[in-house]
Amino acid sequence: MSEHKNKLHPDEIFRKHGGQLRMSEAVKLGISRYTLYKMRDNGVVEQVSRGIYRLVALPPISQPDLVTVSLRFPKAVICLISALSYHGLTTQIPHEVSVAVPRDTRMPSLDYPPVHAYKFSAEAFKAGIEKHPIDGVIMQIYSAEKTLADCFKYRNKLGMDVVLEALKLYRSQKKFNMDKLLKYARVCRVENIMKPYLEASL
């Protein structure tokens, strides 16, 4: 049995890696599929998504959907409504996880949580990515300023009321960074649309 070579108990292996592992990672770390299924049947781990297992003893995940999507699609970036929600810039409750992927990428899909993928140009995809550790998982998410520019770009899909609410909340809780906002407006090619709204916010 491969577990005996690895001196750590399977529970400890999970803890060492943030309490959450993909099946393939668990096997590489010396936990056999049989042991993993046994841990699940005994209520030690739970399956949070296809192929992803998490220790039941851990405190509840604060952002379970974002963590699951980040684990399954580590190259994708959390964007639009999901990013607004993370930054506290919307009163909308996201019913799906919005992610950005480069244009030439296969679109990610999951049984749960539902994922809505948006294809971004190379420049727009790379700009404004922040890395945040959430529940032991490093998540890629756009900065507040980049997210606002993206929302202006997708204003017809999101609704202008959502975009303007986000701008208002940004203004009330963050330092208003006109330079950053305009920089990302240029990247997203919405400078002419955004500028009047930004100037009115000053």
Neighbours of 36 (CB within 10 A): 20
Residue 128's pLDDT is: 95
Please, what is the average pLDDT of the chain? 85
CA 202 to chain centre: 30
Q: Give tens-digit pLDDT for 44-72.
A: 888 877 788 888 876 655 577 787 788 77
CA 3 to chain centre: 32
Q: Give tens-digit pLDDT for 128-160.
A: 999 988 767 788 999 999 999 999 999 999 999
For Cα atoms 143, 138, 79, give the angle at the middle one, nearest 5 degrees.
35
Residue 89 and residue 166 in contact, taking contact as beta carbons nearer than 8 Å: yes
Considering only residues 154 and 173, tell me which one the structure prediction assigns the higher pLDDT: 154
Residue 202's pLDDT is: 65
Q: Which two tokens stand for residue 152?
A: 């202006």
**CATH number of the domain to which 175 belongs:** 3.30.460
Indicate the number of domains in the chain: 2
Which pLDDT band, with edges at 50, 70 and 90, does 6 fall under?
A: very low
Residue 146 and residue 128 in contact, taking contact as beta carbons nearer than 8 Å: yes
96 plus 167 within the same structural domain: yes
> Which region holds residue 91: left if phi is over 0, alpha if psi is between -120 and 50, else beta?
alpha
147 plus 68 within the same structural domain: yes
124 plus 87 within the same structural domain: yes
| Residue 138 structural domain | 64-201
CA distance 113 to 117: 12
CA distance 142 to 195: 20
